[in-house]
Amino acid sequence: MKRWLPVFLLLALVFTSASALAQADFASTAVAEYGQNVAFRLEGVVAEPVERVDLFLQPVGVERPFTIQAIRVTQTANQLVANVDLDPMDASLPPFATVRFWWELQTAVQTITVPEETFYYEDNRFTWRKLAAGDVTVHWTGNDAELGQLAAEIVAQSRATLDDILPPTAVSPLNLYIYPSTGDLRSGLRLADRDWQNGHTDPSLGVLLVTAVNPLTAADELSRAIPHELAHLRLYRLAAGGDFPHWFEEGMALLVEGFGEESGVLETAVAAKTTLPLLNLCVAFPEDANEVELALAQSASLLRYIQNQFGDQALRQVATAYLGGASCEAGLTQTLDMPLAQLNVDWLADVAPQPAWQTFLAENGLWLLLILASFAFFAVLLQSGLQKK
């Protein structure tokens, strides 16, 4: 053992100094200008001539790193400097991603890996105001200092609502960006080679992107957009990137934003008896713009009906059935234990406007019954009184 000790110590010294060199002697930075450029820079001392410098970057959640060879490299008196300017599009950097990056240096005798650093690829075309509330960070622009607090409160409410009607899941930490206009939001996505899909942002980005265009209506806009987008984000996380049936996903998002009760398109269709069969939501979700609007209104309305009739847990169960692999139709029929055709009839009966006399009866039936009963009672009394005479 004693004979090996010096060798062991020597080896330990070599390894510690090699890693100390890699850890301590490099400065590795990235400065991102959203949609334009990311400037990477490496500075450090390397005793041997460096033959090749490669930069690796990997957004969190992306499978493979993107790699690029540094051309602008100088090494004088062991001081190495490498610079890389990268067009974010070339590396397909997702907006709002946390990006890990590291360098590999080739010398004639070894490869040195510089410890990784990270940067946050945020849309920094704006000067964002920031408010952190627990694990939620709100970013917004403009002069309204209160908007962040308001938005944080809406996030908290939306989370509570979604906790009740979805299987347990959390999106934490959560970043919320409130853009000053739809144009700014969309250009932000396009600068990262993304765009809206079906009218909203890609939930795989993992951030909430909404707009508050008008300070006077901001509260209203946010109290619709935040729960809607958060529902999409949570459903995406629940399905681990898979899909819920479209009617369920969009219906849920519309339900939590409070859409549906006052939907003119649904009222008109119910009155004209032109609602779509519920089965169509599953097997033939329309593509025509007018029909899409009706199908979405029906989706939200059906979910509200299920919630009112069977409770929040029924909505959770439908989601759980879908996550368990149930078909679009079976998710409903298994949970509610009735055929879709029956559900269609019951739902329609619930949303159909009742004739005025029916409504009157439903609201005042008990009183009418009491009045009638007392009339009958007096009639009997009167008759028996007459008979005695």
Q: Are the beta carbons of 178 and 212 closer than 8 angstroms?
A: yes
| Whole-number Cα distances in Å, 231 to 149, 216, 237, 277 | 20, 25, 10, 25
Size of the site for Zn ion (CB under 5 A): 1
Kindly tell me which of 125 and 237 has the beta carbon lying closer to Zn ion.
237
Kindly tell me which of 44 and 251 has the beta carbon lying closer to Zn ion.
251
Q: How far is the CB of 252 from Zn ion (least distance, A)?
A: 9
Sheet with 111-121, strands from edge to edge, namely 66-69, 50-59, 97-107, 111-121
Q: For residues 80-119, which are near Zn ion according to CB under 5 A?
A: none
Q: How far is the CB of 228 from Zn ion (least distance, A)?
A: 6
3-class DSSP state of 84: strand
Distance spanning both ends of the chain, measured CA to CA = 131
Q: How far is the CB of 204 from Zn ion (least distance, A)?
A: 14
The per-residue b/e assignment along 106-117, b for 16 or more CB within 10 angstroms, e otherwise, is: eeeeeebebeeb
Amino acid found at 298: Q
Q: How far is the CB of 298 from Zn ion (least distance, A)?
A: 15
Q: How far is the CB of 190 from Zn ion (least distance, A)?
A: 19
Output DSSP code: residue 200.
Answer: B
Kindly tell me which of 159 and 232 has the beta carbon lying closer to Zn ion.
232
Q: How far is the CB of 253 from Zn ion (least distance, A)?
A: 4
Q: For residues 324-343, which are near Zn ion according to CB under 5 A?
A: none
Q: How far is the CB of 250 from Zn ion (least distance, A)?
A: 5
CB atoms inside a 10 Å sphere around CB 75: 18
Q: How far is the CB of 203 from Zn ion (least distance, A)?
A: 9
Query: Which residue in the shown chain puts its C-beta closest to Zn ion?
Result: 253
Kindly tell me which of 128 and 196 has the beta carbon lying closer to Zn ion.
196
| Contact map string, positions 241 to 280, toward Zn ion, x by CB under 5 A | ------------x---------------------------
Kindly tell me which of 28 and 299 has the beta carbon lying closer to Zn ion.
299
| Whole-number Cα distances in Å, 120 to 33, 171, 383 | 11, 18, 91
Tokens of 218: 């901001």
Kindly tell me which of 142 and 258 has the beta carbon lying closer to Zn ion.
258
Q: Are the beta carbons of 115 and 102 closer than 8 angstroms?
A: yes
| Whole-number Cα distances in Å, 371 to 25, 34, 366, 375, 376 | 94, 75, 9, 6, 9
The per-residue b/e assignment along 279-317, b for 16 or more CB within 10 angstroms, e otherwise, is: eebbeebeeeeebebbbbbbbbbbbbbbbeeeeeebbbb
Kindly tell me which of 58 and 301 has the beta carbon lying closer to Zn ion.
301
| Contact map string, positions 210 to 239, toward Zn ion, x by CB under 5 A | ------------------------------
Q: How far is the CB of 36 from Zn ion (least distance, A)?
A: 30
Kindly tell me which of 55 and 253 has the beta carbon lying closer to Zn ion.
253
Residue with tokens 């090749």: 52
Kindly tell me which of 50 and 253 has the beta carbon lying closer to Zn ion.
253
Say how far apart CA 147 and CA 56 lie, in whole Å: 39
Binding site for Zn ion (CB under 5 A): 253
